[in-house]
Structure 1
Amino acid sequence: MTEQDSIGVDRRHVLGLGAAAGATAVLGGVLTTGEPAQAGGPGPLCAPAGLKGRALLPGRPGYDAAVAGFNLVQTPAPGLVIAAENARDVQLAVRLAAQRRAPIAVLATGHQPSVPIGRDAILVSTKNMREVTVDARRRTARVEAGALWTHVLDRSLPQGLTGLNGSTPTVGVVGYTLGGGLSPTLGRRYGYAADHVRSIDLVTADGRLRTVTGANDPELFFGVRGGKSNFGLVTGIEFDLFPVSTFYGGAIIFDGKDAQRLLHAYRRWVRTVPEAMSSSVALMNIPDDPSSPPPLRGKAIVSLRICWTGRQDTGEALVRPLRAIATPLLDMVTQQPYSAFPAIHSDPAGPVPAYERTALLSELTGDAVEALVAAAGPGAPYPITMVEVRHLGGALARQPRHASAVAHRDAGFTLFGAGVTGPAEVPALRAALDRVVRLMRPWSTGGSYLNFMSVDEASTRAVSHAYPDHVYRRLRRLKRRVDPYNLFRLNHNIPPA
């Protein structure tokens, strides 16, 4: 079946690193007790009949947990939360929003906030939709909208299979994949996660639940893979798994004073490595905090991140020249089970207020290295928590069998900066991140990778840079077809043409 329509609708360290009355007024009375509608108004808006999950108002039990996200820079404050239990609940929420012309958004983990979500909006929380099914024979997984990568890996790795996950298992599978899904461990070998999606279950603005594939709706299949939540709310996806159970890799940590030597060696090294080698380099400032590892506490460091999925002896030979650049503070690169991949990047384990900026680089030249070290190295005017350069190319540069909106495949590297700080330091941090992007502009492609774009890159103009002009125009035409009123606009939005 290709279509279903069954209902009527601190600063944290890096390593290890009001209320109900106002909301009901805005939405015309979201949860009512039978009070009459105001004359000339839209009438009371009731919790959808048949809802299996919960309808939550600001100030009521369960609301704060439902809107809580990983990135604390921005917390949604919708007038109504639908804590969905299944695809039917998502349909009900979308139909309710359509009736009211209220914007509707979705939240699984909240790693990538964009525009503010206010009292005029409905938010669908998919945190309770986490079913995962692995078919080892077909090498596929099917996941619901709220599933995390850890849920997939718990089921796939015992069968010697894995998906194209990100740097941490706590990221949601669906949002990550539909934004492209750039795996820092397996991307160069297999491509973007979006390239390997087989089917998508999607609720469009008309409240219909569709199963979308490259055969039954190639244009919608194209747009959703790379356009995220702009064309509907995804309730589940099916995607390919790959026979990877071990890797040779980890992180090698050098003192910040070795940044120039390491980066110059790295830019030459990446020109020679096979596609089975994925890597990045990050300039980092580790807080002087008891929770930080003692050898790194309070230091400016350089983290070389390695994931090689070929023979161990070949991996050792490939990494040897970089190991010889300087004496490491820590060397954690070794042969290990794939389940150990989170230690490569050591992303924060809990929620943090992370301010971020990104760009795509065409190349990493000697001059680019000098500019990057000046902007984010040990002598930089402001100590940004992390600035990473990630190697692209390989399978990431190739189009999949079914073309998608994941764009700028000719880029050589991603540039991603993130800072974690208290409120008083936010202006200085934002200025420092802007300086990094500005100084690296001579080597920028002018494009951006959607999944790395932040609250400071959520304007219509900024979002358009995630796509070449012809792709952006194509997406706007698709938007006009499936969401002409831009119901799904509380995101990195693509407006209808």
Structure 2
Amino acid sequence: MSEPLSNSPLPAVGEGDVDVLCGLVSGPVLVPGQPGYEDECRHYNLLSALRPAVVVGAANAEDVREAVRFAASRGLPVAVKNSGHQMVSSARGAVLATTHRMKGISLDAPGRRVRVEAGVIWQEVIDEAARHGLAPLSGSAPDVGVTGYTLGGGQSPILGRSLGYAADHVHRIDVVTADGQLRTVTADSDPDLFWALRGCKGNFGVVTALEFELFPVRRFYGGSLYFAGAHLAEVLHAWRAWVVGLPEEATSSIAVQRLPPLPELPAPLRGANVVHLRYAHLGSEQEAERLLAPMRAVAPTIVDAVAELPHTDSRRIHNDPEAPMPYWDRTTSLREFPAEAADAFVAVVGPESGSPLANVEIRHLAGAFDREPAVANSVSTRGVPFVAFGFGVGGPEQADLMRDSLDAVMAALAPWSAERRMTNFLSAEEATGPAEVERVFGAQRYARLAEIKKACDPENVFRVNHNIPVG
């Protein structure tokens, strides 16, 4: 995997340094070889082996402050691991702060707001909010961390097209900056940093808590339609024409999947090549079914799991895998998805392609995703109508096969691709240099981010990420 740290040698961390840090924090402090180090470093992508010089298992915001101060005083970078799916590098030589112990949730039901600490996952917020008839703008995988998802924009498969990105509805952020200070940042207190944090994850500090808005949503009509992979061409062409006419209350994406032969999968899906159509609608069941009817009629379904569901069952739209796995991934954005793009997609991942990729999907955005929020932020994909994302499962010995297969998908879609990308989908092997990161955000947005970075993190302490360098 890529390694975006400086090539300059990093200072060694001595036993005395670790003893000092142990005396300052309440959570565990671990170094390579100690019991618990491997567990603390374990990540969702089993290919992303984390090898920091020191791990601080932060129990609270004060532990994060001490970890950052320790790193900055010794010229070491800081990396962060919460409960998400993304880690950009091995964090070799860094101080890694893990936040999964920080589980505080404080919900204000009358005010429709919630404050969550950095280790909270979405299902925990979904369940707590549901007790009050409310819902957050959570993503397709409720087992991922709230903080990383939101700082990268956050694209809800139920509420996003009507309400925008999760980052659009953040009101307050607690963040430890490179000087080791814990700041509470709002649009009024620090408008530049507040703008940058919501969309450009990881470059400006360690977020220890977020406060954001909830919405009065209890249910939706949606779930999954599965078609045999042999019907990809007709389903995909129907979907690309159908999806652009949906009202903002409806959201859909489509994926080509080669599923493993797992016993927990329904029999028709075990080991199968399928087309997976995802759908969610916030209106009545009758209207939702009327809108979906044209897609149900395109080809025979092998599984129809679309129904009236409580918002707590949002994971049933995408059915994302929960167990960690070794995988390779890539993403791109699309300016449009015409018939020619659909044909190119079928050629590279369809049933005759020989593609080994486990999942290649296209998500439709538009609607409120295109509208600027009341308080602007640095989300990079406003105005981008489609994003594509693919991954292949395999160990290091399959690296060339998976990389080549993913590159083939990206090349096939290149004539219709947009430069700005969704930061939550960027892999460790994408946007590894300043020019590439600039393209992800666009020149004007990147220039503002670079100025804020220079002011907030002049030594580039937070560089284990898709980095905006200083100088």
SS in structure 2 at match of 1:466: helix
Q: What's the counterpart of residue 365 of structure 2?
A: 392
Match of 1:218 among 176, 183, 191: 191
Q: TM-score, normalised by structure 1?
A: 0.90
Summarize deviations over 1:248-306 as a string: whole Å, max 9, x none: 00000001111111111111111211101011000111124444432122221100000
Q: Which has the larger radius of gyration?
A: 1
User: Percent of aligned positions with the same letter in both sequences?
Assistant: 44
Q: Deviations over 1:196-240 (max 9, x none)?
A: 000000111011111000111110001011111100010101000
**Offset of residue 26 of structure 1:** 6.6
How many residue pairs match? The answer is: 462
Which letter does structure 2 place at the counterpart of 1:249? G
Residue equivalent to 1:355: 328
In structure 2, C-alpha distance between the alignment counterparts of 1:375 and 1:255, rounded to whole Å: 17
- Which deviates the most, 246-255 or 463-472? 463-472
CA distance in 2, matches of 1:318, 1:171: 30
Long gaps (5+) in structure 2: 1-8
What does residue 369 of structure 1 align with? 342
* 2:179 aligned counterpart, secondary structure: coil
Equivalent runs, 1:82-481 vs 2, <5 Å: 82-118=56-92, 120-460=93-433, 461-481=435-455
Q: Normalization by structure 2: what TM-score?
A: 0.95
| Paired residue type of 1:99 | S
User: Deviations along 1:392-428, whole A, 9 cap, x unmatched?
Assistant: 0000001111111102311110100011123322211
Contact 1:48–1:93 under 8 Å retained in 2? no
1:95 Cα deviation from its structure 2 partner? 0.5
Unaligned runs of 5+ in 1: 1-24, 33-42
Cα distance, 1:51 vs structure 2: 1.2
Cα offset, 1:437, TM superposition? 0.4
Q: Is the 8 Å Cα contact of residues 84 and 149 (structure 2) preserved in structure 1?
A: no
1: CA distance, partners of 2:287 / 2:237: 22
Q: Distance in 2 between matches of 1:56 and 1:424?
A: 30
Is 1:69 the equivalent of 2:43? yes
Deviation at 1:186, TM superposition (A): 1.5
Would the alpha carbon gap of residues 466 and 26 (structure 1) be closer, same or farther in structure 2, given more than 3 Å must change?
A: closer
Distance 2:426 2:436 in 1: 9
Q: Which runs of 4+ in 1 moved over 3 A?
A: 25-31, 288-292
Tell me the distance in 2 between the aligned counterparts of 1:226 and 1:401.
15
Superposition deviation, residue 110 in structure 1 = 4.6
Task: Check the 8 A contact 1:74/1:113 in 2, yes or no.
Answer: yes
Secondary structure (helix, strand or coil) at the match of 2:450 reads helix
- Paired AA for residue 448 in structure 2: R
Check whether the contact 2:18–2:29 (CA below 8 A) recurs between aligned residues. Answer: no
- Asked if the contact 2:170/2:212 (under 8 Å) is kept, the reply is yes
Tell me how far 1:455 sits from its aligned partner: 1.3
Per the alignment, residue 493 of structure 1 pairs with: 467
Given residue 206 of structure 2, which amino acid in structure 1 is its aligned partner? L
Is the 1:142–1:236 Cα contact (8 Å) retained in structure 2? yes
Q: Which amino acid aligns with 1:379?
A: E
Amino acid at match of 1:227: C
1:227 alignment partner, SS class: coil
Paired with 2:234 and 2:73, the residues of 1 have a C-alpha distance of 60
Deviation (angstroms), 1:444? 0.6
What is the identity, as a one-letter code, of the residue corresponding to 1:263?
Answer: L
Task: Give the partner amino acid of 2:236.
Answer: L
CA distance in 2, matches of 1:215, 1:318: 42
Query: Which stretch shows the higher mean deviation, 181-190 or 121-130?
Result: 181-190
AA paired with 1:277?
A
The answer to whether the Cα contact below 8 Å between 1:115 and 1:492 also exists between their aligned partners in 2 is: no
The answer as to whether partners of 1:70 and 1:111 remain within 8 angstroms in 2 is yes
Q: How far does residue 464 in structure 1 lie from its aligned partner after superposition? A: 2.3
